[in-house]
Amino acid sequence: MPSSSLFLRSSTTLVSALSVFFSLVSAGSSSYSNVQSYNAQNFFDGFDFFTDSDPTHGFVQYVSRDTANNLGIIGTDPNSAYMGVDSSSILDPTKGPGRASVRLQSKNSWTKGLFVLDVPHMPASVCGTWPAFWTLSTLTPWPNYGEIDILEGVSNHPQNLASLHDNGATTGVSTISGDARTFSGLLQTSDCNYHSTSSSTNPTGCGILDQNPNSFGDGFNSQGGAYVAMEWTDDQINVWLFNHGTEPSDITSASPDPSQWPKPSQSFGGPDVNIKDNFKQHQIIFDTTFW
């Protein structure tokens, strides 16, 4: 892992706002009402700081809120919350605990909803970085009741790869198809189950690549960031990424109606995907690890 010895001055995430919406109960309605909002003033109060060993075995040391404050790798300004990593230390990847970073897990958890994140800046296209915005069930062990990777990529990948992981051993096979009628992205893997039908396992899950060349890393930042949205219903999970200036007006007015939005970049659903039984009680997670 030679990249761990590099300076990582661009490995920062800025979050202007994160909102969670639940569907309105009225018959025939496809709009949502806000149930939880995070901003620069309350963002870190809504999350716990994970300090155990990295479950993905990256060259990283996740630190507490106090340590992160002392290192200057978290902070706020009037408009955004900042999450970074130790970008000045030169480390030996064969020794020590790894680079200091943060992994935040929301204190609240949800089953279904619309999650909208405003990100002005994300970690740049730097070799070895692995930043992500995702959700994970609190019902252990992994991957019982699912994982939803909303914004994720590694190193200098220019496009966002959204993916699902579920536990096919308990709920049956989940496979998605590359249907251009329902999403604009490019299907990468179709088997969502961690436990595949063969004797091996499938750690990659089912993934769809956003074809927007500015959906991750340097390209994302060159557009001034983006709104990232994930809609989770009983039947499907959809992901949109709107570079700033292209977002639907109902997002910025806090009255989102995804039925009026363009086709999602990623859509996971269909007769062979059991969203209702496979995905429950998820926390929101932000992290940056190194591979």
Exactly one of 67, 112, 152, 202 is catalytic; name it: 152
Per the annotation, the verdict on 147 as an active-site residue is yes
Active-site residue, selected from the candidate residues 54, 86, 118, 147:
147
Q: How far apart are CA 187 and CA 20, in angstroms?
A: 27
Rounded Cα gap, residues 6 and 277, in angstroms: 43
Token code pair at residue 39:
């901003």
Ordered strands of the 47-49 beta sheet:
47-49, 103-106, 282-290, 129-137, 147-152, 161-165, 206-209, 186-189
Q: In the 3-class helix/strand/coil scheme, how is the chain assigned residue by residue?
A: CHHHHCCCCCCCEEECEEEEEEECCCCCCCCEEEEEEECCCCCHHHEEECCCCCCCCCCEEECCHHHHHHHCCEEECCCCEEECCCCCCCCCCCCCCCEEECEEEECCCECCEEEEEEECECCCCCCCEEEEEEEEECCCCCCCCCEEEEEECCCCCCCCEEEEEECHHHHCCCECCCCCCCCCCEEEECECECECCCCCECCCCEEEECCCCCCCHHHHHHCCCEEEEEEECCCEEEEEEEECCCCCHHHHCCCCCHHHCCCCCEEEECCCCCHHHHCCCEEEEEEEEEC
Q: Answer yes or no: 231 catalytic.
A: no
Count of CA atoms in the C-beta half-sphere (13 A) of 123: 32
Residues marked active site are found at: 147, 152
